[in-house]
Structure 1
Amino acid sequence: MLPDFSRAWNQGRNLDLYEKENQAIDHGGTLWRALQNAAPWDGKDLLDLGCGTGYWLPHYADARRLYGVEPDPELLEAAGNRTQSAEILHGSAEHIPLPDASVDVIHARFAYFFPSPTNNCSPGLQEALRVLRPGGVLVVIDNDQEIGEFADLLRAGNAAAHQGPGEFIRQWWKEQGATTQPVMSSWTFESAEDLQRVLNMEFPHGTAHPWIALHPQRVQLSYGYLLHTLVKNQEPL
Structure 2
Amino acid sequence: MSSVTFPDFHRAPNIADHPDVYERENEAIDPDGRLWRALRERADWAGRTLLDLGCGTGFWLPRYAADAGEVIGVEPDPDLLARAAQRGTVRHGSAEHVPLPDASVDVVHARFAYFFPPDCGPGLAEVRRVLRPGGTLVVIDNDWRHGEFAGLLAASPWASAQGAADTTDAWWRDQGAERTEVMSSWRCRDAAELEAVLRIEFPGDVVDGWVRANPGRRELGYGYVLFTVTA
Q: TM > 0.5 between the two? A: yes
Pairs within 5 Å for 1:59-208? 59-60=63-64, 61-82=66-87, 86-116=88-118, 120-208=119-207
Separation in structure 1 between the aligned mates of residue 95 and residue 210 of structure 2, nearest angstrom: 34
Q: Is the 8 Å Cα contact of residues 6 and 94 (structure 2) preserved in structure 1?
A: no
State, as a whole percentage, how many aligned pairs show the same letter: 56
Q: Normalised by the size of structure 1, how large is the TM-score? A: 0.93
Structure with more of its chain in helix, by fraction: 2
Cα distance between partner residues in 2 of 1:133 and 1:160: 34
The answer for the alignment partner of 1:210 in structure 2 is 209
- Counterpart of 1:40 in structure 2 is 44
**How many residues matched?**
226
Alignment-mate amino acid for residue 116 of structure 2 = F
Read off the aligned partner of 2:35 and give its amino acid letter: L
Name the TM-score, length of structure 2 as normaliser. 0.95
RMSD, aligned α-carbons: 1.0
Q: Which deviations, in whole Å up to 9, do the C-alpha atoms of 1:109-156 show, x marking residues without a partner?
A: 00000014xxx1000000000000010000000000000000000001
> Hey, what's the Cα distance between the residues in 2 that align with 1:103 and 1:32?
20
Matched position secondary structure for 2:132: strand
| Cα distance in 1 between the residues matched to 2:114 and 2:25 | 19
CA distance in 2, matches of 1:160, 1:180: 21
Query: Which of these residues, 1, 5, 14, is aligned with residue 2 of structure 1?
Result: 5
Q: Is the 8 A contact 2:49 2:70 kept in 1?
A: yes
Task: List runs of 5+ in structure 2 lacking aligned partners.
Answer: none
Query: Could you say what secondary structure the match of 2:205 adopts?
Result: coil
Question: Partner residue of 1:235?
Answer: none
